[in-house]
């Protein structure tokens, strides 16, 4: 009986210390990525190439999702607003929801599943097939050559993708609200223009998406680099990237929103 | 043969997870030599090579290359040293997102400021040396296993290394590729003027091309000598290994409780 209790406590203790150890390792890895980022900027074509793979190739899913989210917002928003006779405020509702919340958050969630998982799988497989070891033996630091360009590509792409998501969303809201339902076009745009504040809404949205970009890219490159070099290990790491980054995005969103919009 | 060995392994010990992997390894490899490290799977051959390449740190003892002690070097020093080393990985480890040409050009572009026209010529020369100039535009996924190994060899010799290391270069190759890779190891070693370390368990092929053999078993060197001496060796382990006998000092059976007791044991269902 006592044996069982001791064993259970030991395994609980081990799992806690393992997690803390891994968090420490992830933090040191994050610092190392910063430290060895010189190559990613000096030879910017390496980062541009990754921006193409993570950013440009994510465009389709981001743009289509943004359009549909905006269209749904148009439908739902109109349905609620017209009950209070303020359907002209549809432009404000669509724009604020997108710029402040949905743009950065949904774009980041989509980015984590589309690009984050791909980055983890690629780095994990490079490790499993000894490509990272080979690079080290050729006196080339894999963190500088492989990890840092992918990390910065994610950080740079994320705010741009979120902005495009929001823009397409606003257009989707316009299509449904103005063209389909018949809300007055003048008030749709003018109210939106008058109520969306550049500093308070747009800049805060960009800051959010930048933070999400850092989080998703960090988790993705770390999980890939730390993956067990087997098929099972890489598949587990890919899943962890999507799950951990999604949770991190939502938690960070709450914290950021609490700081950014508490006075409103 | 010069008096000072190019690679010197002195009383090398390596422990992983409190389990001794290598104990008291001593080796001397001189310029011009091709040396094989042989032994059954899991005996510590690849670990020895990783210690020589500085990918692992020894628990005690040292490896020195050209007079420099590998584990005492800082990161920059180690990378400087690695520019004079080449390593062929078991499955080639070619970069799958780059063409054959870019794979071979990788180190030249990373470490030198050579103009692209010169890199072009050098890459074709390296590929010509391994007989694969014709595939420079292909991607690694379009190559056979033997071809990938040869391209990886061309990549490893890109900067004319002094010390070449081969991790199981013969594993999984057809007889023709096997012989080609074996000959390449020998000719490249003689052309580069350095030394080569071949980690392998392919006895017949390696005895044809190497100058000296170290036999490793359970993390210790159990025998060493020239191929002729090894073939004649009466050491039971070496004899079993060279002639591929099923039973001997390396038992056929993995340690287990007595056979009868295992059969009579009650089956416990989870």
Tokens (6 digits) for B177? 């590729």
**Residue B106 in contact with residue B95, Cβ under 8 Å?**
yes
Structural domain includes residue A19: no
φ/ψ of A62, rounded to 5, equals: -70, -45
Give the per-residue pLDDT at B269: 55
Tokens (6 digits) for B171? 């594993």
> Which residues, in sequence order, are bridge partners of residue B22?
B14
The pLDDT tens digits for A94-124 are 999 999 999 999 999 999 999 999 999 999 9
Measure CB to CB from residue B53 to each of A130, A137, A145 and give the nearest one: A137
ipTM strictly over 0.90? no
Structural domain includes residue A114: yes
Structural domain includes residue A141: yes
d(CA A20, CA B225): 50
DSSP B178: H
Structural domain includes residue A25: no
DSSP B254: P
Contacts of A136 in chain B (CB under 8 A): 55, 82
By CA distance, what is B163's nearest residue in A? A137
Are A136 and B91 in contact (CB < 8 Å)? no
**Residue A118 in contact with residue A53, Cβ under 8 Å?**
yes
Q: Is the pLDDT of residue B25 over 60?
A: yes
Residue A236, min C-alpha distance to chain B (Å): 22
Give the per-residue pLDDT at A264: 55
B212-217/B220-225 β-pairing: antiparallel
User: How do the residues of chain B divide into helix, strand and coil, expressed in percent and rounded to 5?
Assistant: 40, 25, 40
Give the per-residue pLDDT at A97: 94
**Residue A149 in contact with residue A50, Cβ under 8 Å?**
yes
By CA distance, what is A129's nearest residue in B? B93
Structural domain includes residue A205: yes
Arithmetic mean of pLDDT, B5-17: 88
Based on the structure, what is the number of domains in chain A? 1
The pLDDT tens digits for B45-83 are 888 888 998 888 899 989 999 888 988 888 889 999 998
What's the whole-model pTM score?
A: 0.87
Q: Tokens 């990754």 belong to which residue?
A: A50
Could you write out the three-class secondary structure of chain A?
A: CHHHHHHHHHHHHHHHHHHHHHHHHHHHHHHHHHHCCHHHHHCHHHHHHHHHHHCHHHHHHHHHHHHHHHHHHHHHHHHHHHHHCCHHHHHHHHHHHHHHHHHHHHHHHHHHHHHHHHHHHHHHHHHHCCHHHHHHHCCCCHHHHHHHHHHHHHHHHHHHHHHHHHHHHHHHHHHHHHHHHCCCHHHHHHHHHHHCCHHHHHHHHHHHHHHHHHHHHHHHHHHHHHCCCCHHHHHHHHHHHHHHHHHHHHHHHHHHHHHHCCCC
d(CA B184, CA B182): 5
Sign of CA dihedral A148, A154, A155, A156: positive
Give the per-residue pLDDT at A263: 61
Q: Residues 39-58, chain B: which have Cβ within 8 Å of A?
A: 53, 55
d(CA A29, CA A134): 20
Task: Indicate which of B110, B111, B197, B199 best probes the interface with A, i.e. most A CBs within 10 Å of its own CB.
Answer: B110
Query: Domain B7-84+161-264 maps to which CATH number in 3.30.1490.20, 1.20.1250.20, 3.50.50.60, 3.40.50.300?
Result: 3.40.50.300
Are B82 and A130 in contact (CB < 8 Å)? no
**Residue B169 in contact with residue B181, Cβ under 8 Å?**
yes
**Residue B29 in contact with residue B74, Cβ under 8 Å?**
no
Contacts of B93 in chain A (CB under 8 A): 129-131, 133-134
Q: Tokens 């190759």 belong to which residue?
A: B173
The pLDDT tens digits for B195-235 are 999 998 888 888 888 999 998 888 888 888 888 888 888 88
The domain of A68 spans 44-259
Buried b (16+ CB within 10 A) or exposed e, A117-149: bbbbbbbbbbbbbbbbbbbbbbbbbbbbbbbbb
Tokens (6 digits) for B8? 């010197």
- Return residue ranges of chain B for CATH 3.40.50.300: 7-84+161-264
Task: Indicate which of B95, B102, B159, B162 best probes the interface with A, i.e. most A CBs within 10 Å of its own CB.
Answer: B95
The pLDDT tens digits for B153-196 are 899 988 889 999 999 888 877 888 888 888 888 988 988 888 99
Arithmetic mean of pLDDT, A210-225: 96
Structural domain includes residue A232: yes
Q: Is the pLDDT of residue B41 over 80?
A: no
Are A133 and B89 in contact (CB < 8 Å)? yes
Tokens (6 digits) for A240? 């962890």
**Residue B58 in contact with residue B12, Cβ under 8 Å?**
yes
Q: Is the pLDDT of residue B270 over 50?
A: no
Sheet containing strand B19-29, strands side by side: B19-29, B7-16, B60-65, B68-69
The pLDDT tens digits for A40-75 are 899 899 999 999 999 999 999 999 999 999 999 999
Sign of CA dihedral B250, B24, B15, B68: negative
Q: Does A137 touch chain B (CB under 8 A)?
A: yes
**Residue B213 in contact with residue B200, Cβ under 8 Å?**
no
Q: What proportion of chain B, given as a percentage, has pLDDT over 70?
A: 96
Contacts of B152 in chain A (CB under 8 A): 134
d(CA A128, CA A140): 18
Are A137 and B111 in contact (CB < 8 Å)? no
pLDDT confidence bin for A214, thresholds 50/70/90: very high
Q: Is the pLDDT of residue A3 over 70?
A: yes
B2 or B145, which is more confident:
B145
**Residue A81 in contact with residue A185, Cβ under 8 Å?**
no
Contacts of A140 in chain B (CB under 8 A): 106-107, 110-111
Q: Is the pLDDT of residue A14 over 90?
A: yes
Structural domain includes residue A15: no
Q: Does B8 touch chain A (CB under 8 A)?
A: no
Q: Tokens 């270069």 belong to which residue?
A: B169
What are the C-alpha distances in Å from A121 to residues A58, A225, A240, A242, B240? 16, 10, 11, 11, 43
Measure CB to CB from residue A139 to each of B82, B93, B95 and give the nearest one: B82
Arithmetic mean of pLDDT, A11-22: 94
Structural domain includes residue A138: yes
């Amino acid at each position: 009986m006592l044996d069982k209790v001791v064993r259970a406590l030991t395994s609980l203790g081990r799992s806690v210390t393992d997690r803390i150890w891994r968090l420490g390792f992830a933090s040191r890895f994050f610092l190392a990525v910063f430290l060895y980022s010189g190559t990613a900027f000096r030879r910017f074509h390496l980062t541009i190439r990754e921006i193409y793979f993570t950013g440009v190739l994510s465009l389709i899913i981001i743009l289509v999702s943004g359009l549909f989210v905006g269209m749904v917002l148009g439908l739902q928003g109109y349905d609620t607003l017209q009950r209070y006779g303020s359907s002209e405020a549809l432009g404000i509702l669509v724009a604020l929801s997108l710029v402040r919340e949905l743009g950065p958050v949904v774009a980041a969630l989509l980015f984590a599943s589309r690009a984050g998982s791909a980055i983890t799988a690629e780095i994990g497989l490079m490790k499993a097939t000894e490509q990272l070891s080979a690079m080290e033996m050729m006196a080339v630091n894999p963190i500088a050559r492989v990890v840092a360009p992918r990390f910065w590509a994610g950080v740079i792409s994320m705010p741009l993708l979120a902005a495009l998501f929001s823009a397409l969303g606003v257009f989707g809201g316009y299509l449904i609200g103005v063209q389909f339902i018949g809300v007055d076009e003048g008030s749709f745009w003018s109210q939106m223009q008058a109520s969306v504040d550049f500093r308070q809404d747009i800049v805060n949205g960009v800051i959010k998406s930048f933070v999400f970009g850092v989080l998703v890219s960090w988790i993705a490159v770390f999980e890939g680099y730390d993956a067990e070099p087997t098929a099972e290990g890489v598949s587990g790491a890919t899943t962890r990237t999507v799950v951990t980054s999604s949770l991190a995005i939502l938690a960070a969103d709450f914290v950021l929103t609490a700081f950014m919009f508490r006075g409103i | 043969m010069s008096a000072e060995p190019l690679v010197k392994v002195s009383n090398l010990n390596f422990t992983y997870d409190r389990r001794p992997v290598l104990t008291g390894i001593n080796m001397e490899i001189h310029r011009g030599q091709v040396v094989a490290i042989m032994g059954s799977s899991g005996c510590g051959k690849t670990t020895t090579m990783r210690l020589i390449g500085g990918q692992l740190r020894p628990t005690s003892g040292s490896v020195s290359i050209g007079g420099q002690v590998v584990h005492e070097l800082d990161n920059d020093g180690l990378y400087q040293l690695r520019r004079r080393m080449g390593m062929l990985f078991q499955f080639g480890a070619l970069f799958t997102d780059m063409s054959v040409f870019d794979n071979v050009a990788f180190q030249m572009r990373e470490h030198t400021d050579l103009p692209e026209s010169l890199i072009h010529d050098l890459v074709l020369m390296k590929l010509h040396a391994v007989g694969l100039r014709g595939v420079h535009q292909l991607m690694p996924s379009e190559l056979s296993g033997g071809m990938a190994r040869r391209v990886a060899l061309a990549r490893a010799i890109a900067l004319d290394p002094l010390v070449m290391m081969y991790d199981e270069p013969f594993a999984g190759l057809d007889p023709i590729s096997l012989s080609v890779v074996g000959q390449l190891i020998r000719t490249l070693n003689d052309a580069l003027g350095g030394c080569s370390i071949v980690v392998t368990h392919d006895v017949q092929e390696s005895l044809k091309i190497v100058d000296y053999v170290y036999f490793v078993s359970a993390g210790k060197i159990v025998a060493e000598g020239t191929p002729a001496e090894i073939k004649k060796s009466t050491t039971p382990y070496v004899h079993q290994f060279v002639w591929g006998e099923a039973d001997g000092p390396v038992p056929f059976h993995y340690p287990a409780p007595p056979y009868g007791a295992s059969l009579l044991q009650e089956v416990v269902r989870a």
